[in-house]
């Protein structure tokens, strides 16, 4: 199954949408009529650095996401689900048919104005530790005005609160074991936190007059981590709540994985969500079990070619004697084992360890075989640096989660 995901605020940059404005001129003109200014000029030229302001950034991201969705409809297969991170949820709902492009853009423009009016706050990402450690650290240091605003991945959370409190606890988290970074987020207020409640209330009043159509494709709600229901009132209420409640992105992706989604495609100007999805997916997968994998390989790649499909259901602790193997078969098994594992195996080894489990246990005591078996497992993390936090930050930079400037800032903070 396939899910298309849309990024939110923080992904804006000069030049966004450059390859698509000319391809979809009608969408550009419709955006200009709603906004009252040139969206193409804003995105490509970024006059007076307006993309750093919430009131301009949110409409720009919504329009560029819509351009990518228009391209996807022509170039890509249909989706089974949509999801969007924070602001990106409006792009997902537009793609699913909840409202037309102009209605969505009008909502986003008003949402940005209301959120931009809440000042005195900021957001910062904590990278490298669990939710429990983040919560305990905030509690132990009486950071009562700071909350988790985004549950982005099992070891990445965005905090929201006053600038003063975030500045105070930055040094605190710098001393917490495992923390790889405390990085400011490119927003102008304490989004997805109780301080946004007045904006959420005013936005709820606006939403009451908006028609919400039936969704053609399920969309996952940031607030619940579950699909929006068919009730238009519920959709409107969750959109209002989202302004002041945390984004549960990890729950969204886990729900989609459990629903059978294996193909996630990010539509937009970044690969930040792609990186987060990879982290969430990796955290769900158990660590590789070399013994179990080797037993299955013995059955599938060594026994099955000699005795047929009976090997696949053969008890791993049962003796090969039950199969009635003769000395010639043991020689063949040894040769095949050597070919499969890439190391020499003598026939008497197979004969002496006459079960899949016993043979696997013996083989894993041999360094040459253990290394060959381990080579089938996913590659280990990079180890160029002794400090794992530096390695992790460089990886985040490489996959687009952190910008170069913010990566340098985080590494300097570690030093």
Catalytic annotation, residues: 86, 192
The first and second tokens of residue 271, run together, are 């690969």
What is the chain's length?
A: 415
DSSP string, 213-240: PPPSS-EE-TTTSSB--S-HHHHHHHHH
Torsion of CA 252, 258, 260, 264, to 10 degrees: 30
Burial 47-83 (b: 16+ CB within 10 A, else e): eeebbeebbbbbbbbbbbbbbbbbebeeeeeebbbbb
Contacts of 195 (CB under 8 A, 6+ apart): 118, 120, 121, 160, 161, 189, 244
DSSP alpha helix (H) spans, 267-376 = 272-284, 290-297, 304-307, 327-341, 347-352, 356-365, 367-374
CA distance 143 to 161: 9
Which residue has tokens 């209002």?
240
Contact indicator for 122, 54 with CB cutoff of 8 Å: no
What's the rounded Cα separation, in Å, for the pair 271 and 292?
34
């Amino acid at each position: 199954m396939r899910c298309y995901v849309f990024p939110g605020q923080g992904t804006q940059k000069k030049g966004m949408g450059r390859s698509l404005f000319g391809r979809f001129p009608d969408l550009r003109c419709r955006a200009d009529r709603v906004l009252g200014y040139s969206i193409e000029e804003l995105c490509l030229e970024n006059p007076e650095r307006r993309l750093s302001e919430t009131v301009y950034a949110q409409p720009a991201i919504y329009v560029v996401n819509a351009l990518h969705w228009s391209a996807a409809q022509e170039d890509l297969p249909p989706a089974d689900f949509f999801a969007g991170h924070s602001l990106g949820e409006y792009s997902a709902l537009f793609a699913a048919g909840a409202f037309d492009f102009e209605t969505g853009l009008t909502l986003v423009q008003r949402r940005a104005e209301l959120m931009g009016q809440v000042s005195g706050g900021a957001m910062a990402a904590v990278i490298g530790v669990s939710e429990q450690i983040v919560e305990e650290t905030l509690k132990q240091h009486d950071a009562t005005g700071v909350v988790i605003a985004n549950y982005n991945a099992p070891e990445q959370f965005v905090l929201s609160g006053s600038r003063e409190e975030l500045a105070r606890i930055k040094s605190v988290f710098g001393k917490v074991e495992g923390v790889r970074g405390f990085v400011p987020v490119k927003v102008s207020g304490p989004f997805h936190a109780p301080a946004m409640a007045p904006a959420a209330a005013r936005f709820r009043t606006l939403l009451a007059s908006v028609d919400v159509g039936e969704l053609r494709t399920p969309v996952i709600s940031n607030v619940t981590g579950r699909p929006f229901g068919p009730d238009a009132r519920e959709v409107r209420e969750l959109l209002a709540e989202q302004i002041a409640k945390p984004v549960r992105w990890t729950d969204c992706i886990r729900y989609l994985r459990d629903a059978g989604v294996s193909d996630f495609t990010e539509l937009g100007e970044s690969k930040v969500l792609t990186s987060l999805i990879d982290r969430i997916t990796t955290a769900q997968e158990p660590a590789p079990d070399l013994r179990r994998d080797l037993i299955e390989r013995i059955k599938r790649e060594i026994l099955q070619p000699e005795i047929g499909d009976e090997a696949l259901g053969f008890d791993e602790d049962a003796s090969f004697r039950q199969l009635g193997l003769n000395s010639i078969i043991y020689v063949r098994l040894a040769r095949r084992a050597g070919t499969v594992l890439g190391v020499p195996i003598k026939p008497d080894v197979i004969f002496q360890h006459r079960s899949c489990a016993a043979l696997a246990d013996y083989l894993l005591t041999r360094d040459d075989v253990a290394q060959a078996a381990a080579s089938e497992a996913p590659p280990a993390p990079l180890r160029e640096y002794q400090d794992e936090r530096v390695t992790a930050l460089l990886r985040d930079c490489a996959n687009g989660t952190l910008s170069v400037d913010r990566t340098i800032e985080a590494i300097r903070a570690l030093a």
